[in-house]
Chains A and B, each alone.
Chain A
């Protein structure tokens, strides 16, 4: 939770300070650094949503299976994971939306050739004509909207499948 009060620029500087050395260049020079930046910035939100989902699964579900001699790994994949799907999906959507709008950290750490849409937009808005900026903004908005519609329908299917999981 504390990470949320750390300004994005501070997080960006810490990532640079830690990963900007030759032995970790395979992370610092690749898209992994962007993934790490997103994880550091919003990972806790996803983890809180998933943890809440886990809390809602009664212990007796696991206990009933363990009394029958079902292996814990099988219990996890056959009982826990299917019941967690709505929480996993919610965590993914929220993280995705937040990551789309994140600029403070990624602008500091993105490696060459891995410019994200929002970084490009930010750069273009400062240097290019307004028409180009507007077009790119519209494309960005349309892509985001399209993804949201896709998530909405995927979510509906997933929730329909997990409707049996109302416990």
Chain B
């Protein structure tokens, strides 16, 4: 079953065409990694799905419901039940870890806020940081808080835009294992953007290779590795 559908999407940033007649399907409960060089449209795809950008043409469907269509937002971002981990993490610097995670819960008037935050922080082994500010955390801890903040509202879809760039491999693998555990428990669909193919092979059930707003190849790790496309071959060698 397909959870997210992008049909014939076109999108421009001012005069620059980023996506043109782009179509792709993402399976429910699966992890799909989008890989490709900088500027190939990976982040744009996530932002379009989240509703942070409006496609100039085409249809985006989530759970078979049209969420954006030809220059219009049909379902606003906050009603799509999507968690987004931004590349810059976007942790509010004047809020403590607890307040960063609780902000969305309070807005939705959820109950058991403290328990839910405590549970997530326990999972990431950062319970002792609950009253710290983002600038008092290490890079890896900040990333865990950003992920916890996106997951605490129990989204159907988690979009991760290169959130683990610039941290060491050991911490990265540790975080990804926690995310996988959460995904197994909550059964959300995850789209993971990276330009690092090793990270993608480790994380994704399916890998989508992009270049200049087009899909070059889509498949499992082995299918991508065995691709005959010269661009993919050279990309994997980097």
Contact = CB atoms under 8 A, between A and B. Distances in A.
Given A165-B93, A165-B94, A69 B86 contact: no
Majority secondary structure of chain B interface residues (helix, strand, loop or mixed): mixed
B4 to A, nearest CB: 16
B231 interface: no
Contacts of A70: 78, 103-104, 107
A2 interface: no
A44 B135 CA distance: 33
A60 B93 contact: no
A58 B104 CA distance: 18
A58 B86 CA distance: 11
A164 B90 contact: no
Contacts, number: 63
A1 to B, nearest CB: 25
B95 to A, nearest CB: 8
A65 B84 CA distance: 10
Majority secondary structure of chain A interface residues (helix, strand, loop or mixed): helix
B92 to A, nearest CB: 6
Interface residues of B, number: 23
A134 interface: no
A6 interface: no
Contacts of A78: 103
Nearest to A167: B93
Contact of A164 (B50, B107, B135): B135
Interface of A: 58, 60-61, 63-71, 74, 78-79, 82-83, 162-167
23 contacts: A60-B88, A61-B92, A63-B84, A64-B86, A64-B90, A65-B104, A65-B107, A66-B78, A67-B50, A67-B77, A67-B82, A67-B83, A68-B103, A69-B78, A69-B79, A69-B104, A69-B108, A70-B104, A71-B107, A79-B92, A82-B94, A163-B135, A165-B93
Interface of B: 50, 52, 77-79, 82-84, 86, 88, 90, 92-94, 103-104, 107-108, 133-135, 149, 153
